[in-house]
Structure 1
Amino acid sequence: MEKLLTNYYETASIILFGVGFVTLLLHSNLIKKIIGMNIMDTAIFLFFISKGYIYGKEAPIIRGVHKGIQGYINPVPTALMLTGIVVAVSITAFALALTIKLYEKYGTVELDEIMRIRGE
């Protein structure tokens, strides 16, 4: 139990991922599925950024005196997460555009209703 409280960022990211995954699986509304996917993305970003941070070290921006390689954190995880955020926003925009097209064609965003209409 103590490790859960010590690693609260990781614990929160796992809980967020679970909430997003359950939302993605249990709801038939496409907007809710997109929201669940975004919650999962956010959980992954939180997890990797919390793993990339080292307490007591600084961002690799040299101001004045250089502290050596041991004085700074690795910037690669943060850069990868910035790239991931851009990809996640792009996928969200694409999914919302597809949802709009589905709504225009079928008049609903409920996946069960769309499958019922297509089955007729």
Structure 2
Amino acid sequence: MTVALPLLVAGGVLFMAGTALLLTRSLTRILLGAVLIGNGVNILFLSTTGRTGDTPLLYPGTDPGQVTDPLPQAMALTAIVITLAVTAFLLAMVYRSWQLTGSDEVPDDIEDRRVALRAEETAERARLQDEYKKLRRQYANAARDGGAAGKARGRVVRARAEYEQSRSRLRRRLRADRLQQPDTTDASSDLWDHVLGEDR
């Protein structure tokens, strides 16, 4: 079986462009990326049917070795139907997102941001606690030796103040992020009024 190189290149380019569009935040670009990937799949299916110019059907008197393979054509038709369904679904999502928020941008997941902030806070707190404990040990050793206890005490006080400031700063960030969470709707309200809005 021979494969047409231009069809392979065109399918690969459509795949790359569609993947790049799928990785964006705009739902419209995600829709275009899904359409491009669907078309790339169709072209790659058609590139496996055989040489160009072969007979599409097995007519009487036709050499069976000169007929294109019908299976990729049937799979391309199936892929067209699937692409149409995905396109309709994404169009509905884009329209509804535009209606509710006035934008088609996909927002950050607030819970993911909270988890990341909490991990950052835990790591920063552990680092500051280790530094504070190390300075406390240095201060205890300096006080026992009777040497530079004043300097060591100053470093301990500064480390403690930095630890407290960093902890309060991270707590403020967590509180501000928690305030950005969407309000939960009252369970007694009509769910369809909330979901459908003016379309009902």
Q: For structure 2, list consecutive stretches of 5 or more residues without a partner in the other structure.
A: 111-179, 183-200
How high is the TM-score relative to the length of structure 2? 0.49
Q: Does 1:53 align with 2:115?
A: no
How far the C-alpha of 1:105 sits from its partner, in A, is 1.9
Counterpart position of 1:108? 103
> Considering only CA atoms, is the larger Rg found in Structure 1 or Structure 2?
2
Q: CA RMSD in A?
A: 2.2
2:103 match: secondary structure: coil
Question: Which residue, out of 34, 38, 53, partners 1:37?
Answer: 34
How far the C-alpha of 1:78 sits from its partner, in A, is 0.5
Counterpart position of 1:95? 90
Counterpart position of 2:181? 119
How far the C-alpha of 1:61 sits from its partner, in A, is 5.2
How far the C-alpha of 1:56 sits from its partner, in A, is 4.6
Question: Which residue, out of 20, 23, 27, partners 1:22?
Answer: 20
Q: Which digits, 9 at most, give the CA deviation of each residue in 1:65-117, with x for residues without a partner?
A: 421422311111101101110110111011111221222222211113x757x
Please tell me whether the aligned partners of residues 45 and 75 of structure 2 are also in contact (alpha carbons under 8 angstroms). no
Matches within 5 A, 1:66-81: 66-81=61-76
User: Taking every aligned residue pair, what percent have the same amino acid on both sides?
Assistant: 23
How high is the TM-score relative to the length of structure 1? 0.78
> In structure 2, how many angstroms separate the alpha carbons of the residues matched to 1:75 and 1:10?
18
